[in-house]
């Protein structure tokens, strides 16, 4: 067990890293964050911010020398960096797991190879692959870059064969996956922690509502029946076992209108849809990340109260700092801002969580706050 007082390394300094720093500091650990951005959300709060590129040899040597364990909050960390570090210090999750999910094709091939259901897909490496790929997926379909896509970026919706070539060109002719567009009834996710000895603890299934491909709000627990919740939780456990995962992961699901549950993607880290766990669960997803890193027993994932989390995107800052009065005036709402300096459209600047005695109460209050913030009914 790595005891409090030790220094822990975090690769990536975004908001996920920031919440990790807060959880680790509460337990009395020190944190060293590696992120090239001098104003990174986690770097601002860390004991040490190594402001350098993720491949920087001197920075990696220092983090390996001074940290008792290392984790990541950013799945696009080059897997070779993790691999290099894990030869010297415990790294959770392992480079092997991050490598699989960094690339949509590797991820889907892994999942289908293990028998997990995913939307029909086919790889596209060159324009000559497009017709055969579309024969597998049908239309409408989504052409997605295999690597470095997030929040709906790096993907184009295609409704007919004639539009395939231009979509591929729009994505820079990079390796892609063509994916059937699913007739969605709902989007769900499950966040789970798995320790080094195979022990697991999962949070309640969350219901996720997206706008323009970006998560808008998460509702916990999801408004689904117990049988479906069991299926999503079991599948998440099976995924974590199949990949022999150590750390916190999230599985994002598509629920089809016909009731089928498909895996959309796996995040090898705490997840935006698990932010409510900070305010509404016995132990947060970031505390679990810390516990797995330090070989502590897992904390309780018990939901203490229903909760709704709403993301705050940069668009809200068009006229300067938003008026937070509506959040502060709602006694069950908590504001979390990430300390980002540039509020660009679509950029996640913060979120708020609203607790309620029932999901309906939390949802009604969360929507009222959002209406007041955006001056919409
Ligand atoms: P992704 O980055 O692949 O998770 O996509 C972002 C969002 O786009 C998802 O959460 C869905 O709302 C939507 N989306 C992506 N792929 C599909 C699909 N195959 N069918 C339907 N909606 C999709």
CA of residue 302 to ligand 1 center, whole Å: 29
Q: Please report the atom of ligand 1 found closest to the CA of residue 144.
A: 3
Are 367 and 331 in contact by the 8 Å Cβ rule? The answer is no
CA distance 274 to 251: 11
**Integer CA distances (angstroms), 123 to 2, 233, 246, 265, 282, in order:** 43, 29, 29, 16, 42
- Residue 179 neighbours by CB under 8 Å, 6+ apart: 119, 120, 121, 137, 141, 142, 143, 144
CA of residue 213 to ligand 1 center, whole Å: 6
**Integer CA distances (angstroms), 100 to 76, 78, 95, 243, 267, in order:** 11, 12, 9, 9, 11
pLDDT value of position 320:
93
Which residue is closest in CA terms to ligand 1's atom 12? 213
What distance separates the 2 farthest-apart alpha carbons in the chain? Answer: 60
CA of residue 142 to ligand 1 center, whole Å: 8
- Residue 151 neighbours by CB under 8 Å, 6+ apart: 213, 214, 215, 346
Are 108 and 262 in contact by the 8 Å Cβ rule? The answer is no
CA of residue 291 to ligand 1 center, whole Å: 31
Q: What are phi and psi of 170, to 5 degrees?
A: -60, -30
Domains of the chain, first to last: 7-91 (3.40.50.20), 120-180 (3.30.1490.20), 184-374 (3.30.470.20)
Q: How many CB atoms lie within 10 A of CB 14?
A: 21
Pocket test for ligand 1, best of 254, 255, 258 (most atoms within 8 A of CB): 254
pLDDT value of position 377:
78
pLDDT values of the chain reduced to their tens digit, one per residue, 377 residues: 999 999 999 999 999 999 999 999 999 999 999 999 999 999 999 999 999 999 999 999 999 999 999 999 998 899 999 999 999 999 999 999 999 999 999 999 999 999 999 999 999 999 999 999 999 999 999 999 999 877 678 999 999 999 999 999 999 999 999 999 999 999 999 999 999 999 999 999 999 999 999 999 999 999 999 999 999 999 999 999 999 999 999 999 999 999 999 999 999 999 999 999 999 999 999 999 999 999 999 999 999 999 999 999 999 999 999 999 999 999 999 999 999 999 999 999 999 999 999 999 999 999 999 999 998 87
Q: Give yes or no for residue 182 CB within 6 A of ligand 1.
A: yes
Pocket test for ligand 1, best of 148, 171, 213 (most atoms within 8 A of CB): 213
Element (H, E) at 145: strand 141-145
What's the predicted TM-score (pTM) here? 0.97
Q: Give yes or no for residue 179 CB within 6 A of ligand 1.
A: yes
Are 257 and 183 in contact by the 8 Å Cβ rule? The answer is yes
Number of residues that make up the chain: 377
Q: Give yes or no for residue 181 CB within 6 A of ligand 1.
A: yes
Q: Please report the atom of ligand 1 found closest to the CA of residue 153.
A: 2
Q: Give yes or no for residue 88 CB within 6 A of ligand 1.
A: no
Ordered alpha helix ranges (H), 178-284: 226-242, 277-280
CA of residue 261 to ligand 1 center, whole Å: 14
């Amino acid at each position: 067990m790595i005891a409090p007082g030790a220094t822990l390394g975090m690769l990536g300094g975004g908001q996920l890293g920031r919440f990790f720093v807060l959880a680790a500091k509460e337990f009395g650990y020190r944190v060293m964050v590696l992120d090239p951005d001098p104003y990174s959300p986690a770097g601002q709060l860390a004991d040490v911010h190594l402001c350098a590129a993720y491949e920087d040899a001197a920075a990696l040597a220092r983090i390996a020398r001074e940290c008792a364990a290392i984790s990541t909050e950013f799945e696009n960390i080059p897997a070779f960096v993790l691999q290099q570090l894990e030869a010297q210090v415990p790294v959770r999750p392992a480079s092997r797991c991050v490598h699989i999910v960094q690339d949509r094709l590797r991820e889907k091939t892994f999942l289908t190879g293990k028998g997990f259901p995913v939307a029909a897909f086919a790889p596209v490496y060159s324009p000559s692959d497009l017709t055969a790929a579309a024969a597998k997926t049908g239309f409408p379909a989504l052409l997605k870059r295999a690597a470095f896509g997030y929040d709906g970026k790096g993907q184009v919706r295609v409704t007919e064969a004639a539009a395939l070539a231009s979509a591929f060109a729009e994505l820079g002719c990079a390796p892609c996956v063509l994916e059937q567009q699913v007739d969605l009834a709902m989007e769900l996710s499950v966040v789970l922690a798995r320790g080094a000895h195979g022990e697991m603890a999962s949070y309640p299934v969350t219901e996720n509502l997206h706008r323009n491909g970006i998560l808008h709000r998460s509702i916990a627990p999801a408004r689904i029946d117990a049988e479906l919740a069991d299926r999503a939780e079991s599948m998440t456990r099976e995924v974590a076992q199949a990949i022999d995962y150590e750390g916190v992961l999230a599985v994002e699901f598509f629920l089809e209108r016909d009731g089928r549950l498909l895996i959309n993607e796996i995040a090898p880290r705490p997840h935006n849809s698990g932010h409510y766990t900070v305010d509404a669960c016995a132990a947060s997803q970031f505390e679990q990340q810390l516990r797995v890193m330090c070989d502590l027993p897992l904390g309780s994932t018990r939901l203490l109260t229903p909760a709704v989390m709403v993301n705050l995107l940069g668009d809200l800052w068009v006229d300067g700092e938003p008026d937070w009065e509506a959040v502060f005036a709602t006694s069950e709402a908590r504001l979390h801002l990430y300390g980002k300096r540039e509020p660009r459209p679509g950029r996640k600047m913060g979120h708020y969580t609203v607790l309620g005695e029932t999901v309906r109460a939390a949802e009604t209050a969360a929507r009222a706050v959002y209406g007041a913030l955006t001056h919409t009914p």
